[in-house]
Structure 1
């Protein structure tokens, strides 16, 4: 009888321990699952809290020209204050829009019918306006000017020779005053660009103007045909499809272009000194240099700043 009781007690003890172990195991399993669910929830919450990145660019002193035609059949141009609403303005989409992941303004251009005077190419490009909405107030080399931007080539197509299509990413454009325009009998205020900076097959290339006749009078050099193109200059650094900084510093008789803060090209010759007769304004964006069918490029600007 005693042995029987001992056997019963042993069976009950073993049963109790087995049930207890199973409960503990189940409890542990549920706990691990809860932890995993909690971690996932926290991760999703963290992703939702991710901040939207915006470009560090004040557009209150810029107008923009796009590859879209306006009601008059000309290239669309939007000035301040309307340009400040570029992110929601249907006229500007998809030519100028935010990439909120990288914090940049994307300038998209392709060959279209929306060309401007004296060119066959199209652009999605900013034009400096010292006085918002007014193109008649500009600056001279003697007054000085500085422009700095952080940008990158995001996408571009290739030409038939396998090279990437190139685009102009920065400019300094000359402009005749109304008096100079009337003096030479020109119908508009257009003057040549003293500076064109290209993204050219992964490199940064600089082109400037040179006076054909150094003895030309101040009136003669107001004519566009008084100026020719220099041979151009390529910076040694290859920027490819990476971010880079460009800075242009202008002072009396001098122009300096700086790539990534450590490579310089200085222009301080007679051509720069004679250029002082013109007014100027900065341009920045995507002035696409191809008419190939299906060609396009996208330039991202993260920062753009001008000072005088």
Structure 2
């Protein structure tokens, strides 16, 4: 498919500094095409707060979970204890959700609409309804802290990027550092739609072990691992039925993995996609105040135009 255009998926005696005077991620990052989940429930609706696009871009910050660092990075933090996004989720997150509608509330957030995108392998009728066709997410970040308590197969895990579909995730990109290691691993999961096969796991740097299915594993330090605080980049590209994940670090060769999604079910009518980025804590068994944190220095989502 030829892409004809590109859309690039924040009365008193003493003066009190306004909320806007405190630097926020939206002051440096273009966040009009994103919403944010934070692990607090300030409106007491039983779910994590959702910060909509216009509020986020206008300078929203949360001093505990979503801030701008002194170096100009967008900092995400999620403790083990906190509000969850739904009853079906048992992990906390401080995470952006791509919103191609950019605050236009006349456009539905779910479904094949101008808010979401589809693959170029989807029916042409779906491509015409979507907000974009195919997608690339590029990020430069450092993972600054991971959990150190809890059961061994959950400790140290955090999801730093995703493609989400109606009910499943074509990709969840993980960073994971074990307590006795100095460096961490990077791997990802590809989840076909229900009825289209089993979840697939791909190791890029180091190993995903120990896991739920192999809790006795004792992996050695990953030779080419990524330390906490070390800057690296990733690119997630979904074009047609091909999913390509690339890891990039200065002074090291790129690490690339490609997945054939032709039998995963995401090209069928009714399937829509969106990117997510931030920290999605993958530990629910550690101490309540144990947490994950990452700083993003660059985040850019792009898509081909509708046909």
TM-score norm. by structure 2 comes to: 0.67
Residues 196, 263 of structure 2: 8 Å contact kept: no
SS of aligned partner of 1:83: helix
Sort the Cα spacing of 1:103 and 1:289 in 2 relative to 1 into closer, same or farther, 3 A: same
Aligned length: 225
Q: Which runs of 5+ in 2 are unaligned?
A: 1-22, 121-132, 178-183, 207-223
| CA deviation after TM superposition for structure 1 residue 162, in Å | 7.3
| CA deviation after TM superposition for structure 1 residue 232, in Å | 3.3
Residue 93 (1) aligns with residue 63 (2): yes
Sort the Cα spacing of 1:226 and 1:113 in 2 relative to 1 into closer, same or farther, 3 A: farther
Q: Which moved more, 1:282-291 or 1:70-79?
A: 70-79
Aligned to 1:122: 92
Q: Which runs of 5+ in 1 are unaligned?
A: 1-51, 176-190, 211-220
TM-score norm. by structure 1 comes to: 0.67
Aligned to 2:202: 232
Sort the Cα spacing of 1:233 and 1:120 in 2 relative to 1 into closer, same or farther, 3 A: same
CA distance in 2, matches of 1:124, 1:106: 9
Q: Which moved more, 1:140-149 or 1:153-162?
A: 153-162
What value does the CA root-mean-square deviation take over the aligned residues?
A: 2.4
SS of aligned partner of 1:69: coil
Residue 149 (1) aligns with residue 139 (2): yes
Aligned to 1:104: 73
SS of aligned partner of 2:227: coil
Residue 197 (1) aligns with residue 188 (2): no
Residue 248 (1) aligns with residue 243 (2): no
Task: State which structure, 1 or 2, has the greater radius of gyration over its C-alpha atoms.
Answer: 1
Residues 204, 256 of structure 2: 8 Å contact kept: no
| CA deviation after TM superposition for structure 1 residue 307, in Å | 0.6
Residues 68, 112 of structure 1: 8 Å contact kept: no
Residue 58 (1) aligns with residue 30 (2): yes
Aligned to 2:297: 302
| CA deviation after TM superposition for structure 1 residue 112, in Å | 2.8
| CA deviation after TM superposition for structure 1 residue 160, in Å | 4.8
CA distance in 2, matches of 1:289, 1:161: 11
CA distance in 1, matches of 2:175, 2:200: 17
CA distance in 2, matches of 1:246, 1:287: 16
CA distance in 2, matches of 1:245, 1:155: 17
CA distance in 1, matches of 2:49, 2:291: 18
